[in-house]
Amino acid sequence: MEIFIVSVFVLGYLAITLEHSLKIDKLIPALIMMALAWAGIAFGLDNFTTWFDSHNATLINDFSSLPLANEIGEHGAHAVKSKSMWMEETLLHHFGKTCEILIFLVGAMTIVEIVDHFNGFQTFKRIIKTRKKSYILWIVCILGFILSAIIDNLTATIVLITILRKIVKDNNLRMWYAGMIIIAANAGGAWSPIGDVTTTMLWMAHKVSAQQLIVNLLLPSLICMIIPTLIASFLPIFKGEIDAEETEEKLSKNGTLMLTIGLGMIVFVPIFKTVTHLPPYIGMMLSLGVVSLVAEFISARAFSISQVENHEHVHGPTFKALGKIEMPSILFFLGILMTVAALESLGLIFIFGQDVINSGLDLNIFVTLLGAGSALIDNVPLVAASMGMFQLPMDSTLWHFIAYAAGTGGSMLIIGSAAGVVAMGMEKISFFWYLKNIALLAIIGYVAGAGVFLLF
């Protein structure tokens, strides 16, 4: 049955990788392989020799000797924990940890959509007053680096490309800007606990702390962004000035206020976790509640019982924002994380990690290759798998290197990160155009940042 489960994972992941060729959203194979993987565990439960206790991070070698069903002792208590109990508890454990991440992401996405409802991100357009292409390149890359650390790399990419569309009319030039934004956004997301799904996973799993993640990865991530941007600024495409027309756009009077409150409350989440020691999603729900309260107050929406009954409240900014969040992405993360959890539960990932350690392969080389692999394979399952491979203390250097490698390595190919995929869709960037023009810059930045991390 292990062969069946691994085959389901390989075939499902192949379908995810070939999403654009098959014209099937990656959400579909992710959900199917999750269900089939856990069904395989349920059917083959009596034949597994090992089981990984994720809660205590230990491998149970005598799993085959346990009874399949519950055995009740003389006093009504379970005589020994059965295989079915292990499966139920492990499934519930992984589902709970996965939902912590998903609820966190839903909260962050909703806050961003509320800010966008008030046209808050147009505030950044006022910063870009120059027409010089190289200056605009530096401005959007620096904004991408900073914004992605606060509102995540996916959302930062969407915001900046939306602003670029109002400034740069040349489609080819805008594709170059979008490619550089991908590099900057992924670099910015790597050093923040809320900047990328993978860093959020490591942070919420107590593999890294917010403070040490920032201290250890800020400089390498900055180098990863600066080097490619510096090289690109000397390319012919970024010489001269843009031909954008001046357009007057009506800005919301509350846009700047909502932008400040929204970003401030997202930044507040790590502080709340540090003070209360509660899971990050609790702080994110508090932040969402505060932002929603301000948004509804600004909108002057007073609800009565009759209005609620007539569903008039759905026109409020909070409910509009909830309707715009990327639910396909949320369900994709659910499918992929729970599938990796199935592999981890059988002890396959732990055993593979031990084999890597015992083989004598330098772990820094392994993590560097893992980062390169994230360009081909989504970084979420790679990080999820690495979390089950190594039993290392919190803030171990290896965890920080994994955060950097997985966060920035995806920039090498346009399909290697969420920021790349969304830019691909918004600007119709082809896989091979990105490979020809941007990939080398991303590789240079990745290697330079990794070198700085290993050096210091």
Encode pLDDT of 307-346 as tens digits.
Answer: 444 444 556 777 788 877 778 878 887 888 888 888 888 8
Decide: helix, strand or coil at residue 80.
Answer: strand
Burial category of 403 from C-beta neighbours within 10 Å (exposed 0-12, middle 13-18, buried 19 and up): buried
Residue 385 has a CB neighbour count (10 Å cut-off) of 19
In a domain, 178, yes or no: yes
CB burial readout 415-440, b (16+ within 10 A) else e = bbbbbbbbbbebbebeeebbeebbbe
Q: Which of 173, 210, 172, 166 is nearest to 191 (CA)?
A: 210
CA atoms within 13 A on the CB side of 295: 30
What pLDDT was estimated at residue 303?
44
Q: What does the pLDDT average to over 358-381?
A: 80
Q: Give pLDDT tens digits for 25-81.
A: 878 988 999 999 999 998 888 888 888 877 766 778 777 777 777 665 555 555 567
Q: 8-32: per-residue pLDDT in tens?
A: 988 988 887 777 677 888 789 889 9
Compare 125 and 230 and report the one with higher pLDDT: 230
Q: Is residue 386 part of a domain?
A: yes
Rounded mean pLDDT, 170-177: 90
DSSP state letter for 38: H
Reported as a single tens digit per residue, the pLDDT across 244-256 is 555 555 666 788 8
Would the pLDDT of 304 be above 50? no
Can you say how many angstroms the Cα of residue 177 is from the centroid of all Cα atoms in its chain?
22
Whole-number pLDDT of residue 70: 67
The count of structural domains within the chain is: 1
Determine the pLDDT at residue 253. 75
Q: Which of 228, 422, 363 is nearest to 371 (CA)?
A: 363
Dist CA 316 CA 326 (whole Å): 19
One-letter amino acid identity for 119? N
> What whole-number distance in Å separates Cα of residue 75 and Cα of residue 69?
18
What amino acid occupies position 229?
A: T
pLDDT at residue 393 above 80? Answer: yes
Containing 452, the helix (H) or strand (E) segment is helix 439-455
pLDDT digits (tens, 9 = 90+) for 147-172: 889 877 877 888 888 788 878 888 88
Name the pLDDT band for 198 (thresholds 50, 70, 90): confident
Cα angle 257, 258, 262; round to 5: 125
pLDDT tens column, 400-412: 999 999 889 989 9
Model pLDDT, residue 57: 63
Looking at the domain assignment, is residue 87 inside a domain? no
Instruction: Note whether residue 28 is domain-resident.
Output: no
Share of the chain above pLDDT 70, in %: 90
Nearest-5° Cα angle at 126, 120 to 131: 140
Range(s) of the domain holding residue 217: 97-455
Which residues, in sequence order, are bridge partners of residue 259? Answer: none
Can you give the pLDDT at residue 319? Answer: 78
* Cut 0.75: pTM above it: no
pLDDT at 236 over 80: yes
Q: Is residue 111 part of a domain?
A: yes
**Cα 195 from Cα 225, distance rounded (Å):** 15
Q: Which tokens is 448 given? A: 């330079």
What pLDDT, on a 0 to 100 scale, did the predictor assign at position 302?
43
More confident residue, 131 or 38: 38
In a domain, 281, yes or no: yes
Q: Measure the CA–CA gap between 148 and 263, rounded to whole angstroms.
A: 11
Q: Locate tokens 């081909």: which residue?
A: 376
Is 12 among the domain residues? Answer: no
What are 393's two structure tokens? 């203390």
Q: Is the pLDDT of residue 263 over 50?
A: yes
By mean pLDDT, which of 9-23, 221-235, 429-443 is the weakest? 9-23
Which has the minimum average pLDDT: 82-86, 294-298, 387-391?
A: 387-391
The answer to whether residue 184 scores a pLDDT higher than 80 is yes
Please, what is the average pLDDT of the chain? 83
pLDDT on residue 141: 94
Residue 67 lies in a domain: no
